[in-house]
C-alpha cells in the first residue's frame, strides 16, 4: 500500500513539475562533474531532483534565504550518488537545514580521567541518523574537484542505513563482501600511515579520523575526481563503482 502510494505520488509530482529549463541549465552548468552523463542519466537526474525537492523539506537557518537555485543545486548534488540506486536510498527522514556559512555545534567529551570537556566545533556539514542533514552554503559553493560537502553528508546518510559509523558500510546485496572490505581495509591502513608520516595525500587528511569519514571523503573524490581515485586506489575504485553502480572516471574528461 505504502509502495503504491509513493509511486502514485511520484508520478503526480513529475507530472506537475514546473522546473524551469533555464534554471536547470544554469545550476547543472555550474557542476562540472556532471559532464559526460548520458541523455538517459540526465533525464533521470532531473526527475530525481524534482522528486527530492517534493519529498524533502529544506529550511534556511540563521536568516539564510533559500532560492530556487540553491534548492535545486543541493537536490542535484544529493541525487547524483543515488542515480542508479534509487531515491528510496534516502528514505526515513525529510529535513535539510542550510546555514549561510559554517555553524557551531556544542561537543562534549569525557577524557580518560572521567572529566567532561565541553567545546564548540565549526562544521561545514553534519548528518544525523534518522534526522536532518545540515549544510553550510558557503562550503557548498567552495565545491571543487575532490571537495563536495553535499556528496559527503549524503554518503554519511547512505552509510547510516548500512551499518555503524566506526566501520565501513555494508556492501549491497549484488556485491561480494570480501573484496569490498579488503579494498577498504588496505586503502585505509595505507592512508592513515601516510597521514601519520605527514605525507601529501590525494584526499583531506581528515578522512583518517574514522572509517565513516574515509568512506564519505572518498565518495566525494569518486564523483568529482574519479580518474585520480582510480589510479591511486584501483581496487577501491572498482568496488565504489559496484557500490554506486556508476563509473564516473569513464565520463569525466579531467
**Length of the chain, please?**
254
What are the start-end ranges of the H helices in the chain? 2-15, 21-29, 39-55, 68-79, 137-141, 149-160, 177-196, 211-224, 226-232, 234-244
For Zn ion, which stretch binds (CB under 5 A), given 45-53, 97-105, 160-168, 216-224?
216-224
Contact 148, 158 (CB under 8 A): no
Q: Enumerate residues 195-214 that contact Zn ion by CB under 5 A.
A: 213
133 in contact with Zn ion (CB under 5 A) = no
Assess contact for 89 and 120: CB atoms under 8 A.
no
Q: Identify the sign of the CA torsion 149, 154, 157, 158.
A: negative
Q: What is the closest distance, in whole angstroms, from the C-beta atom of residue 43 to Zn ion in the complex?
A: 31
Q: How far is the CB of 35 from Zn ion (least distance, A)?
A: 26
Shortest Cβ 156–Zn ion spacing (Å): 6
User: Closest approach of Cβ 127 to Zn ion, in Å?
Assistant: 7
Buried-exposed string 156-187: b where 16+ CB fall within 10 A, e elsewhere: bbbbbeeeebeebbebeeeeeeeebeebbeeb
Within positions 61 to 120, which residues make up the interface with Zn ion, using CB under 5 A?
A: none
**Backbone φ and ψ of 91, nearest 5°:** -80, 155
* Of the candidate residues 82, 151, 216, 218, the single one contacting Zn ion (CB under 5 A): 216
Binding flags for Zn ion, 163-202, as an x/- string (CB under 5 A): ----------------------------------------
Nearest residue to Zn ion by CB is 216
DSSP assignment, residue 147?
B
Please say which residue, 6 or 162, places its beta carbon nearer to Zn ion: 162
Residues that bind Zn ion (rule: CB under 5 A) add up to a total of 2
By CB under 5 A, name the binding residues for Zn ion: 213, 216
Amino acid at each position: 500500500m505504502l509502495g503504491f502510494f509513493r509511486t502514485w505520488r511520484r508520478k503526480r509530482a513529475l507530472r506537475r513539475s514546473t522546473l524551469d529549463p533555464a534554471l536547470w541549465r544554469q545550476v547543472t552548468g555550474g557542476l562540472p562533474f556532471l559532464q559526460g552523463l548520458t541523455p538517459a542519466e540526465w533525464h533521470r537526474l532531473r526527475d530525481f531532483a524534482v522528486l527530492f525537492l517534493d519529498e524533502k523539506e529544506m529550511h534556511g537557518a540563521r536568516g539564510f534565504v533559500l532560492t530556487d537555485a540553491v534548492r535545486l543545486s543541493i537536490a542535484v548534488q544529493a541525487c547524483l550518488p543515488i542515480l542508479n540506486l534509487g531515491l528510496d536510498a534516502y528514505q526515513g527522514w525529510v529535513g535539510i537545514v542550510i546555514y549561510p556559512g559554517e555553524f557551531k555545534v556544542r561537543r562534549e567529551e569525557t577524557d580518560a580521567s572521567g572529566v567532561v570537556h565541553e567545546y564548540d566545533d565549526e562544521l561545514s556539514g553534519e548528518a544525523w541518523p534518522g534526522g536532518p542533514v545540515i549544510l553550510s552554503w558557503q562550503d557548498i559553493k567552495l565545491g571543487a574537484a575532490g571537495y563536495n560537502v553535499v556528496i559527503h553528508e549524503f554518503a554519511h546518510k547512505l552509510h547510516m542505513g548500512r551499518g555503524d559509523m566506526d566501520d565501513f558500510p555494508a556492501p549491497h546485496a549484488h556485491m561480494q563482501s570480501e573484496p569490498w572490505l579488503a579494498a577498504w581495509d588496505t586503502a585505509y591502513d595505507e592512508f592513515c600511515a601516510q597521514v601519520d608520516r605527514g605525507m601529501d595525500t590525494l584526499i583531506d587528511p581528515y578522512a583518517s579520523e574514522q572509517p565513516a569519514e574515509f568512506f564519505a571523503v572518498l565518495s566525494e573524490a569518486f564523483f568529482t575526481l574519479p580518474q585520480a581515485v582510480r589510479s591511486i586506489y584501483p581496487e577501491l575504485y572498482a568496488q565504489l563503482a559496484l557500490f554506486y553502480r556508476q563509473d564516473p572516471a569513464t565520463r569525466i574528461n579531467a
